[in-house]
Structure 1
């Protein structure tokens, strides 16, 4: 019988993240877990989209809030301008009241002047009529044609002089009154114009500031409406994000529970196999224990990965199963206590980090370990002989990806057939 070529280098193990997506059916994998993992992957994709949408919505909200703050600042300034305009309007109102008071006084002065002028004109006419009655216009002729005495003549001359003086005084007084009346009428016109201009300026200024305030308020209202819409979008996106996170948490919990159930089932099979091996060893004294793969073949296979994170069918996966099923390290896995075991070449150093004894003294139930080759190799020690050789059971050594045993191995020989030491879990 031709012997299969020896596989040198052991197995290569990579860290597998427990949330890796399942892309097809796997050996001994429960279909419900596959569905859960598929749903989890879809939810994670939805979560990524929700995060992006929530970030965009939040950015839009932040931008619109900044615009609102700016517009509210403009509105505040417009309000201040309106307040200032109202103060100015009050000042102009006071000025208008003053102008109206001046106009009233001017109107009164003009009316009084007209009344006084009419009175003076009437008095002047009355005075002149009296004088005319008392003095004949033929006075100069009567001097020579009548028997008027000198006294009479003097009296008539005096009346003529008085009439002349009265006429002169009245004319001067009336002239002054006319001049004053004209000045009052000018004041009246100026006061009327000033009051009108003040009223027009006040109304125009107040109207302008009110218009600015209205425009600022309209702009602020528009931006506030945008902020409200963006806030609603942000809240909706956040709600969607929260919903996706809750869904992922639920699915992750269910996946973890399904995975744990599979691990527990594998462990039960492993313990049963270990018990059978121990019974077989008791019946066959002097023979090595665990000369068969036992129930390792029933260990769950997740697309080539075992439940504790090693590649199924590799030396490290088989050794990890033996450690979990026959030692107190029942929860041993690829990442134990935060330390990554990975390829067999790392096992000695990793074991020391978690407090496991590593030395050069073989014992049944220990893990034989070597560093030669690119990935190293581990095997399960099933027997120790008086000459120092050992018996081992292993995967992926003589049989590629399969179970095998070796007897009386000179572990000190080095190379691909020997070992560097032993790990006592």
Structure 2
């Protein structure tokens, strides 16, 4: 069969059973930055997606913690449709009610109980852009006297040049060096952090749970220590909640759960904030909220009223349906269930951001991921020994139970095969 398309099919018009070579067309048209796609997905509803052959999957990755309400949620669909039919884009030479209301709402979510008067929001398009903005805030805070910005080992803050300078994995950074200067990596250890901190440090950026590292929460007490030592040194504390925020970990922000009472200077958000619509945000308080002035930062699409309306719909739905609390309850139950499976050495994380660590006898996590996909479940493998689960927060108990059963079967089968080999 020829793989040369006569004319592209209209978006959304793909019918299960079509046999067009979408993967080959992808390879011929799209830059090879992600490798070959695992499947061609054409439709989604709730926690389900369907591929181009009509096969159904339970989506336990949610676009990597993005689709917090699942696929095609009516609240998001209605918000986007209604806003786009009214006013789609205006640039940041103007504002819109949706932009203003979202900023006000985010301040209240990130800094509950704190006076909103000293807090401000910058709306961006993604997590890496939010972290770029935070990096620029750190630079404005530090100036020439504070050139150092600390990040933790095993961190991931994005792939654009500034965020990449704060991302630990050498394979991501080295092809693009020299990167913006001043970034340093420190082990997630209180004593080492204290030793690294000084009056020449502009900021420390941390993830409450390191997702790309295999869903690893920071050691107990480290966030509180980070707040203490940054305050003493006059440095900013930046908390990257891009993956962990918006109810995913069982609270609106993971740092609310893991270090109650601390007040970061800057918090970055994205992923679940838009429920599938691209949006990021930087929420800052105190001096950090006022460091960027007119002309010092900008974005064409950030704060777009369509994306802002989607984010407001997501927040309302999370609140009205008590989904952060739901994530906490299901996460506790699911973690216990998964940890009891043969071949599982540990379950890490919080709420519905879980890392399932596999015993060596099981083999590579990517192979387990592929077998699970063949059985109708989408997960990913951020590390060779870890599966990551970041499903929609609407996931049912029955879907969680079904996955646990299939994972147990897959791991048992693999362990038996490895033992015979």
Specify the TM-score bucket, using the shorter chain as the normaliser: under 0.3
| Greater share of residues in helix | 1
Q: TM-score, normalised by structure 2?
A: 0.21
Work out which of the two has the higher radius of gyration on C-alpha atoms and give 1 or 2: 1
Higher relative contact order, structure no. (Cα contacts within 8 Å, ≥ 6 residues apart): 1
Greater share of strand = 2
